[in-house]
Amino acid sequence: MLSPMFHKILGAVFFLLPCCSQGFPALAGNGKEAGNGKEDTVSQLEHRISRLEGVLFIGFPALAGNGKEDIVSQLEHRISRLEGVLHLEKMITTAGGKIFATNGKKGDFHATVKECQEAGGSIATPTNPSENDAILYFVKSYNTYAYLGIKESLIPSKFQFLDGPKLSYTNWHSKEPSGKGEEECVEMYTDGTWNDKRCNQNRLIVCQF
């Protein structure tokens, strides 16, 4: 599917651009209207892809042909190309369907949650070893710990995802979590292991999209 991945890329790109962190336009119309609704949707997508290609200094081809399949596959191809460039330039890392990015700034836990939300994403939350590695890439390259989207539950020393569910994957450093109710947030160390920590430290802002 074109749209969810495209949204993630847009979120990541605008997060990376200091000028554009307000987010990105919603599609006007849903493509289901009679008449030229579909064409409208396609031309809005095409416009937004071209804009990203412009930002990244990639030339953009005119859409050729007019078959619906044809146009969708051309747009998909251009989105894959954008992803490839962002990867190559080390602006994003990916794992499964997730995209991770940092803006290189630091903030406490609440600032991180807010910045990621404003960019159309959420605070980086590893749910398996490959997502952990994708976040670790930024922690290592900035040599700065990062807060994760995990918090202590009402039961001390039991941690959960921000949206509630119990952790399905953990990578605690040995002897952690150690805070016993005094350290409600979780940071990633530069070896990828986790430490429970007070929420008011300055840490690298890493988001997922």
Residues within the interface to ligand MMA (CB under 6 A): 176, 178-179, 183, 195-197
Q: How far is the CB of 132 from ligand MMA (least distance, A)?
A: 19
Task: Name which of 83 and 196 has its Cβ closer to Ca ion.
Answer: 196
Task: Name which of 120 and 177 has its Cβ closer to ligand MMA.
Answer: 177
Q: How far is the CB of 183 from ligand MMA (least distance, A)?
A: 5
Task: Name which of 23 and 179 has its Cβ closer to ligand MMA.
Answer: 179
Region near Ca ion per CB under 5 A, out of 10-18, 80-88, 118-126, 175-183 = 175-183
Task: Name which of 74 and 171 has its Cβ closer to ligand MMA.
Answer: 171
Q: Which residues pair with 204 in a beta bridge?
A: 106, 146
45 close to 2: Cβ distance less than 8 angstroms: yes
Q: Which residue's structure tokens are 């790109």?
A: 13
**130 part of the interface to Ca ion, by CB under 5 A:** no
Residue 115 binds what, of ligand MMA, Ca ion, none (CB under 5 to 8 Å, by partner type)?
none
Q: Which two tokens stand for residue 105?
A: 């700034």
166 close to 135: Cβ distance less than 8 angstroms: no
**181 part of the interface to Ca ion, by CB under 5 A:** no
Q: Which residue among 195, 199, 204, 208 contacts Ca ion (CB under 5 A)?
A: 195
Residue 8 binds what, of Ca ion, ligand MMA, none (CB under 5 to 8 Å, by partner type)?
none
* CA-to-CA dists, residue 187 to 79, 135, 162, angstroms: 32, 11, 14
Q: Which residue among 94, 196, 205, 207 contacts Ca ion (CB under 5 A)?
A: 196
| Surface-to-core class of residue 50, CB atoms within 10 Å of its CB (0-12 exposed, 13-18 middle, 19+ buried) | middle
Which residue of the chain is nearest ligand MMA when measured via CB?
A: 178
| Surface-to-core class of residue 91, CB atoms within 10 Å of its CB (0-12 exposed, 13-18 middle, 19+ buried) | middle
| Distance in angstroms (rounded) separating the CA atoms of residues 111 and 108 | 5
Task: Name which of 25 and 181 has its Cβ closer to Ca ion.
Answer: 181
Q: Which two tokens stand for residue 143?
A: 């040599």
**171 part of the interface to Ca ion, by CB under 5 A:** no
| Distance in angstroms (rounded) separating the CA atoms of residues 207 and 99 | 8
Which residues are at the interface with Ca ion (CB under 5 A)? Answer: 178-179, 183, 195-196
